[in-house]
Each structure stands twice: as structure tokens, then as C-alpha cells.
Amino acid sequence: MTLAQQLREGLTTLGLELPDAVQAKLLAYVALLKKWNATYNLTAIRDEAEMVTQHLLDSLSVLPALQESALAGRRWADVGSGAGLPGIPLAIVRPDMEMALVETVEKKSAFQRQAKIQLGLANITVVNQRVEDLAAGQFDAVISRAFADLAEFVRLAGHLLTQGGRLYAMKGLLPEDEMSRLPPGWAVADCTRLNVPSLDAQRHLLVIERV
């Protein structure tokens, strides 16, 4: 099976219908990541087919769980973005959302800047800073993928939200212990089990908001 076929089948499973040009841009991102990874060690995953599953489809699995009102015209931040995950795949698929990639490691931010240029992602901003140093109230939504435990996520990134904004934490197994240790004034508003095609592992999306 080609990477294009793998991606197409995975998107069908997720219920996402994307134009061929968007699918090509997603695969171009994987190719760029593989090229940079050989020198800069951005991700432990080396195989492109695994990148399609564990990076592209895993990142995009949140879209069916998100309401349209959370996407179009909204300002998002992907904190601890690493190689741009999930922010770059989301920004490719949803050019109507603004995505800031927040990453402290310069080589990873350099890759993000190259991806922005090479893939023509005008809706991406690369922010090479510590998340706790960013000004408050900038974003409608902040997402993380394996960034920190929930209490730490709230502590580091909660100030970034606008009034009524939400934190989105991508997790593996349901982190019930972490959920019980959220700081006062914060609560889990929603929890969705995600279906990642071809991935035999649990994935969850937790939505956290002020109460």
C-alpha cells in the first residue's frame, strides 16, 4: 500500500473528506519531517508509514471530536509542539484557523519555520519561547499532545486563554489520576475516546475549562 492510499483510507475511517491537494500537502509534511529527522532527530519514529499513522492520523483524529465553532476563525496554540504536532496537520487541513506553534527547542522551531515556508502555511506562527513566558489572553484554544500532566498543562498554559477559552489535552489511556488533581477553578468539560486508524492503542481528548 502506498502512503497516499494509507492516508486516504485513514481519512475515510475518520470521516474526513479532504481535497487531493490537501492530502498531498500532508504527505509533503511527512517527507520533510523524514528528511530533517535524519539530521536533527525530531521524532523517534523513522518510518514514513508509521508517521502517517502516529503523526498525521493521530493529530487529525481530534477533528471529528471538535465542534465547528471551535475551529473556523479561531486562534489556537499548540504548546510543546515539537515537530509541529498536532498543529501543522491541523493547520494544513483547516486553513481557516490560526495556529501558533509554541516550542522552546530551537532546532524544532527551525523545522517548523521551514515547514511553514515550504508548505505555504500562512495560518501558522512559529513561537520559539517557553509557554509560561507568553502574554496572557491570546488564544481561544490551546492544545497539547504528550506535553505534560493535566495539572501542569493548566499551570503553564491556562493563562493563554481568552475568556471562555478551552484547553485540549491529547492523551493515551484515560488519565483519571491526573483528572482528579486539576487545580481549583478548572474542570474536565468533556472527554472523548479517539479512534486512530491502524493504531492499536487508546487515545483520548480531554477538554478542560475554567469553572
CATH number at residue 70: 3.40.50.150
- Residue 208: pLDDT band (50, 70, 90) is very high
pLDDT given at position 146:
81
101, pLDDT greater than 90: yes
Strands 139-145 and 186-194: unpaired
* Domain, as residue range, for 35: 3-210
How much is the average pLDDT of 23-41?
96
pLDDT given at position 141:
98
Model pLDDT for residues 44-65, shown as the tens digit of each residue? 999 999 999 999 999 999 999 9
pLDDT given at position 135:
97
CA dist., res. 37 & res. 45, Å (int): 9
Model pLDDT for residues 122-178, shown as the tens digit of each residue? 999 999 999 999 999 999 999 999 888 999 999 999 999 999 999 999 999 999 999
Partners of 101 in beta bridges? 78, 126
Could you tell me where the beta strands, DSSP code E, fall in the chain? 75-79, 98-102, 124-127, 139-145, 161-171, 186-194, 203-210
Assessment of whether the complete model's pTM goes beyond 0.75: yes
CA dist., res. 44 & res. 3, Å (int): 19
- What total number of domains does the chain contain? 1
